[in-house]
Amino acid sequence: PFEYPVCTPDGTVFDILSIVPWIKKYGTNPITGEKLDAKSLIKLNFAKNSEGKYHCPVLFTVFTNNSHIVAIKTTGNVFAYEAVEQLNIKPKCFKDLLTDEPFTRQDIVTLQDPTNLDKFNVSNFFHVKNNIKVVDPDEEKAKLDPSYYLKNTNTETRETLLELYKEFKGDDILAATMKAPEKKKVDKLNAAHYSTGAVSASFTSTAMVPETTHEAAAIEDDVVRYQYVKKKGYVRLHTNKGDLNLELHCDMVLCAPLPAASNLSLDNKCSRSWQWKCPEMWSSV
């Protein structure tokens, strides 16, 4: 599962291509949450047999999930614990079994111990508990291609998909026709107690842009505005017979503010010419 294996001093194995970006961003061990420096990582040297399987270079036993595997910190060479126990620990000859380089008992790092399975309990990993991850830009870009999710495809399927993508223009057509309507800004004053209904509408109609978030509908500005009208409105009409001062009961009748807000003022220089303007007195109401 790795190309360039490294391990921490406590024996947690990572691929260097995965752990270095994590350390650069968080500076911790993703398994334990403790501080971790890239300089403390130990490069591991795994041996492979003729079949490409990892094995002990001394006993030639293939590593499995039940193998007890250790590494020598000073050299990074990986062995079966049985080999190190029989040839290093018991005779007290602490020299690397491949390079003959000396090391101490403390330099023996356990990578896998079948009697300690808690080490591999993913649910206890720090980054899993806290839902922390490093986003790979290349992988996120690749996910935009539907073929990313096709793990195994035969030649005929691949050729069919390539031909389909060359001729298919449905996405361009949908992008041109399925434009999301402009959303009205909602705040604590104009937010309704009901939603826009866009989620259910997009779920049942293919002609609408998919919507997955419920949002409060916006009450019309006129309805919101007149809820706060608590005073009388006053309008002065200029006529050829003199001025008429009118009082509008905006606080009593819902429709009363409408003509007032439509900016009333009469200019009757011509008998058939009517022009409405906003009187200064109404602007203060």
pLDDT in tens, 155-164: 787 788 777 7
The distance of Cα 181 from the centroid of its chain, to the nearest Å, equals 24
pLDDT of 253 reads: 56
pLDDT of 269 reads: 40
pLDDT tens across the length of the chain (285 residues): 688 999 999 999 999 988 999 999 899 999 999 999 999 999 999 999 999 999 999 999 999 999 999 999 999 999 999 999 999 999 999 999 999 999 999 999 999 999 988 888 888 888 888 888 877 777 777 777 766 666 666 778 778 877 777 776 655 655 566 666 677 788 877 888 888 888 888 788 777 777 778 888 888 877 777 777 778 888 888 888 888 888 887 777 554 445 545 544 433 343 333 333 434 434 333
pLDDT of 19 reads: 92
Report d(CA 181, CA 184) in Å as an integer: 9
pTM: 0.49
**Residues present in the chain in total:** 285
pLDDT of 55 reads: 96
pLDDT in tens, 83-131: 999 999 999 999 999 999 999 999 999 999 999 888 888 888 888 888 8
Report d(CA 29, CA 19) in Å as an integer: 9
| Domains observed in the chain | 5-134 (3.30.40.10), 142-178 (no CATH)
Report d(CA 204, CA 96) in Å as an integer: 69
pLDDT of 57 reads: 95
Residue pair 51/60 in contact (Cβ under 8 Å)? The answer is no
pLDDT of 249 reads: 78
pLDDT of 266 reads: 39
Q: In Å, what is the CA distance from 34 to each residue of 86, 127, 253, 260? A: 34, 11, 68, 69
Residue pair 35/44 in contact (Cβ under 8 Å)? The answer is no
pLDDT of 49 reads: 93
